[in-house]
Amino acid sequence: MRAVRIAQVAPLVESVPPRLYGGTERIVSYLTEELVELGHEVTLFASGDSQTRARLHAGAPRALRFDRGCRDPIAYQVAMLEQVIQAAPHFDIIHFHGDWMHLPVFRRQDVPCVTTLHGRLDLPELQPLFAEFSDLPLISISDAQRRPLAWANWIATIYHGLPRQLLAPPGGAKEGYLAFLGRIAPEKRPDLAIRWAVKSGRRLKIAAKVDRADEEYFATTIRPLLNQPGIDFIGEIGEREKSEFLGNAAALLFPGDWPEPFGLVMIEAFACGTPVLAYRHGSVPEVVEDGVTGFIVDDESGALAAIERLDRLDRARIRGEFERRFTSRRMAEDYLAIYRLLSQPPVSSLETV
């Protein structure tokens, strides 16, 4: 089967992959590298400090998050969009990961395109936007993500995946602490993670990024809680530290009370053989198999009871479920099926006779 000529268009906020925190750009990296490994011709439109085996087209010199001199990041995004338009005839399919800015332009292009939406969709301003562009195909990262826009032009749900050998259970005895990994933000509820740990008498390690927008929340709500015994705030960590951090934990706490579209950190924990203890919101029931790869709870009493049952879960089976459901190879093959479907020429009436 011939190689597919694919453009992957990433946001410019982070590099691909990110140096530290970053979900969307990390998935774009995993997908891009798997597509190259499978023999396809891939061009990655991303920041110039990205690392890839694909052909890299730099839309900005570096990730805009780290460019202190950049006052208007949209300028770079618009310039890169024009570069994608100029290169469009060279591709069989263009895959966007930057939400919606490209929609008006690519409605008018002949080259097929598809958009994976990575964020929350329960914002009222998105209703008229996607109603207007109801002809353009969309991919969701969970069925739960679709609910606010159930009528939109969804053509597939494709779950995220990680490279099989990227993370692994570390050897030796586990330290048995509880872990919180990701971003300090109100919707992620790190305050609940701290409360669960304190009430259960367990140590909690927090490895998390604090965005500028969340600095006040961190200072007023979270920082005062860090003085309690057993609470260890590590700060932001990179990919190299994750196997040890997650693999030595008794569980990853995922107490967010918002409609999480996917939750990449959950499958990172699975890859390390670590169960997830999560509230029943958003994608959680699609990702966590209750009683197998973790526990899904509805309130604090359920969370505290689940912490006492963590040692009943089979960590080897958790790793096995990761390999079965959440590898980047499976993700790439799912996307390839969509690329081929969208890029094949329509069958004429004469050909069907």
- Is pLDDT at 78 greater than 60 in this prediction? yes
Residue, of 240 and 172, whose pLDDT is higher: 240
Least-confidence region, from 66-70, 240-244, 260-264: 66-70
Percent share of the chain, pLDDT over 70: 97
Alpha-carbon distances of 317 from 21, 88, 322, 331, rounded to whole Å: 27, 44, 9, 20
- Is pLDDT at 202 greater than 80 in this prediction? yes
Residue at 353: amino acid letter = V
Look at residue 349 in the predicted model and tell me its pLDDT. Answer: 42
Least-confidence region, from 106-120, 146-160, 162-176, 200-214: 162-176
Domains 5-161+327-343 and 177-325 share a fold: yes
- Average pLDDT value for residue range 255-281: 96
Q: How confident is the model at residue 173 (pLDDT cuts 50, 70, 90)?
A: low
Contact assessment for residue 223 and residue 257, using Cβ atoms and an 8 Å cutoff: no
- Average pLDDT value for residue range 23-48: 96
Look at residue 246 in the predicted model and tell me its pLDDT. Answer: 97
pTM for this one?
0.93
What CATH code would you report for 177-325?
3.40.50.2000
| Residue spans per domain, the chain | 5-161+327-343, 177-325
The CA distance from 277 to 250, in Å, is 10
Instruction: Look at residues 178, 132, 162 and name the one whose alpha carbon lies nearest to residue 268.
Output: 162
**What is the CATH architecture of 5-161+327-343?**
3-Layer(aba) Sandwich (3.40)
The CA distance from 147 to 120, in Å, is 10
- Is pLDDT at 115 greater than 60 in this prediction? yes
Look at residue 99 in the predicted model and tell me its pLDDT. Answer: 82
- Joined together, the tokens standing for residue 78 give 């618009």
Look at residue 65 in the predicted model and tell me its pLDDT. Answer: 83
Tens of pLDDT, residue by residue over 221-256, are: 999 999 999 999 999 988 889 999 999 999 999 999
Look at residue 97 in the predicted model and tell me its pLDDT. Answer: 96
Torsion angle in degrees (nearest 10) through CA of 140, 146, 149, 150? 110
Tens of pLDDT, residue by residue over 282-298, are: 999 999 999 999 999 99
- Average pLDDT value for residue range 341-352: 63
- Is pLDDT at 348 greater than 60 in this prediction? no
Look at residue 71 in the predicted model and tell me its pLDDT. Answer: 85
- Is pLDDT at 125 greater than 90 in this prediction? yes
Residue, of 22 and 109, whose pLDDT is higher: 109
- Average pLDDT value for residue range 85-96: 96
Alpha-carbon distances of 95 from 133, 188, 339, 346, rounded to whole Å: 16, 29, 9, 20
Look at residue 352 in the predicted model and tell me its pLDDT. Answer: 40
